[in-house]
Chain A
Amino acid sequence: MKTHRRNQLLLVLVLIVGAGSTLALVLQALNENINLFYSPAQVMAGEAPINKRIRAGGMVLMDSVQRPDNSLRVKFLIGDLKSAQFPVVFEGILPDLFREGQGVVAEGRLDQAGVFVADEVLAKHDENYMPPEVAQVMASDKVSNLP
């Protein structure tokens, strides 16, 4: 019986230490790896932090996509349905559903000059409407737009 007791005690100890350290690790990891979402209005108002990994999204404004020749660098504007907008630069291949007038979410960092340097651009992968974050951007603009 003694070994049995000792084993149980050992087990409980291992459990507590294991669970505790896992929990600490997990929470730490969570807090370091969440990407906050900002709307164009928030980016314009300077609410989005500089040089921190964030996500921002809205509509790709019509006729705003520019591609200087001989590189994969793309510049475009993301805006809401009012006047808020911010410039985005991205180097790489855009997703298939990336289009002007379409809702997108960009992931990356905002630089000192207020340009969003994206390392990833996401467009919703099927026909469903638009990313919920973007839908909410549009919806809240609508509310504030009304008298």
Chain B
Amino acid sequence: MMKGPGFLLPLAGFMLLVAILAVGFRLEDPHLLPSQMLDRPLPAFSLPRLSDSSKVWSEKDVYGKVRLLNVWATWCPSCVHEHPELMRISQEEDISVLGINYNDDNAKALAWLKYYGDPFDLNISDHDGQLAIDLGVYGAPETFLVDARGIIRYRHVGVLDQQVWTDVLAPIVAELNQLDREG
């Protein structure tokens, strides 16, 4: 039968299990993937506006202001979840919010905005996902923080909630605005 230290075997087994879980957890977590686009300029694009496809927008039109670029789509239920926070940001915070409507149907997208409310200053229709590919988006929703010179300063994957705003985005926005005023 087992003697003294033998009774510590369950503990050893448990530690092994924890190691597997911890490693698995790190592997699995998509939020911790580094963003290759950080501190690089916005990729070049030329895409129609959602509301009026005759007007084309390019990356140059984005310059000049600190902006949030929100990648969204009507087929993405999580976008509904984050929607109230975008509404709040657009109304209360000193920042411009642009939408990138991704892999979507224009009519559906406009109906969606009418139903839930429209937090975006402007929407770009990325029907084929070309801009999203260039940005390295791997799903919706995703949000990019872009400074006045069109450099990507932060990328948030998944739902943007108030905690992310206050803890992460707001300080960066404040800093960028500060830099903007100084420089």
Contacts and interface: CB of A to CB of B under 8 A. Distances in A.
A–B: direct contact at CB < 8 Å? yes
Interface of A: 62, 81-82, 99-103, 127-130, 132, 135-139, 141-143, 145-146
B77 interface: yes
B160 interface: no
Nearest to A81: B133
Given A103-B139, A138-B139, A145 B30 contact: no
B104 interface: yes
Given A81-B137, A142-B136, A132 B36 contact: no
Contacts of B129: 81
Contacts of A135: 30, 138-139
A127 B36 contact: no
Contacts of B128: 62
Interface in B131-172: 132-133, 136-139, 158
A102 B103 CA distance: 10
Contact of B103 (A62, A136, A141): A62
A129 B139 contact: yes
Interface of B: 28, 30, 33, 36-37, 73, 75, 77-78, 80-81, 103-104, 128-129, 132-133, 136-139, 158
Contacts of B133: 81-82, 145
B168 to A, nearest CB: 19
Contacts of A145: 133, 136
A130 B132 CA distance: 16
Contacts of B36: 142-143, 146
Contacts of B37: 146
A103 B129 CA distance: 14
B78 A128 contact: yes
Contact of A127 (B30, B78, B103): B78
B78 A142 contact: no
Contacts of A129: 30, 78, 139, 158
Contacts of A82: 133
Given A81-B129, A81-B132, A102-B75, A138 B81 contact: no
A101 B139 contact: no
A37 to B, nearest CB: 13
A43 B24 CA distance: 25
A101 B78 contact: no
Nearest to B134: A145
A127 B73 CA distance: 13
Contacts of A128: 78
Nearest to B104: A101
Nearest to B34: A143
Contact of B138 (A101, A142, A146): A142
A127 B139 contact: no
Given A81-B137, A142-B36, A101 B73 contact: yes
A62 B108 CA distance: 14
Contacts of A132: 28, 30
Given A62-B103, A81-B133, A143-B36, A99 B138 contact: no
